[in-house]
Structure 1
Amino acid sequence: MTSLNVYSVLVVLFLTCGIVMATKENDQIIKENNCETKMGLPCVLEAFTRIFSTGSISNKCCGELVVLGKVCHSALVRRTLENPVFNDLNPATVIAKSIQTWNNCLALIDSPSPSA
């Protein structure tokens, strides 16, 4: 019985350390890359709504998202998912929407514009 309690404590400590390390890693990436200063607030809100709720993202904001960069984009989404406010969201669904949004924006920005 004691070994079960010790095992339980070790599992909890391991999981807690993993979460703390993930948070520090995301924060470090965000800080080192100045991620929070690369997009305007209106576009941050559009991207957030697209990824964490239901909405769309404009071509202008897709451009800002691509300039933000994939590393910043991924770190910001992961850090947001770590916030207890978002515990009711399915992380796999959010990450899938995040990747889809990134890929759609990248394709939109990389595609040649039609000539007039």
Structure 2
Amino acid sequence: MASLNVYSVLVVLFLTCGVVMATKENDQIIKENNCETKMGLPCVLEAFTSIFNTRIISNKCCSELVVLGKVCHSALVKRTLENPVFKDLNPATMIAKSIQTWNNCLALIDSPSPSA
């Protein structure tokens, strides 16, 4: 019975360390890449609502998102999902929505503009 308790404690420690490491990894990426300074607050909010509330993101904010970069975008989304406020959201669904927003913006920015 004691070995079962030790095993349970080790599993809990392993899972807890994994979450702490993920948090530190995202924070490190955000800090090293100055992610929090690359987008204006209005576009941060617009991108956030695009991912978490299924709203449309403007061309201007798509441009800022692409300049922010995929690494920063992913780290910021993952850090947001670590917040207890979002505990009821399915992380896989939210990450898929963030990738969809990223890909839509990238396609929009990379597509040639119609001639005027």
Partner Cα separation in structure 1 for residue 53 and residue 17 of structure 2:
29
Shift of 1:69: 0.1
- The answer for unaligned runs of 5 or more in structure 1 is none
Partner Cα separation in structure 1 for residue 89 and residue 50 of structure 2:
14
Partner Cα separation in structure 2 for residue 2 and residue 108 of structure 1:
59
Q: Deviations over 1:48-96 (max 9, x none)?
A: 0011122110000000000000000000001001111100000011000
Partner of 1:10: 10
Shift of 1:3: 1.2
Shift of 1:4: 1.1
Q: Deviations over 1:18-52 (max 9, x none)?
A: 01111001000000000000000000001000111
- The answer for unaligned runs of 5 or more in structure 2 is none
Aligned residues: 116
Partner Cα separation in structure 2 for residue 15 and residue 52 of structure 1:
26
**Where in structure 1 do 4 or more consecutive aligned residues deviate above 6 Å?**
none
SS at match of 1:39: coil
- The yes-or-no answer on 1:36 pairing with 2:30 is no
Q: TM-score, with normalisation over the residues of structure 2?
A: 0.98
Backbone CA RMSD of aligned residues: 0.6
Q: TM-score, with normalisation over the residues of structure 1?
A: 0.98
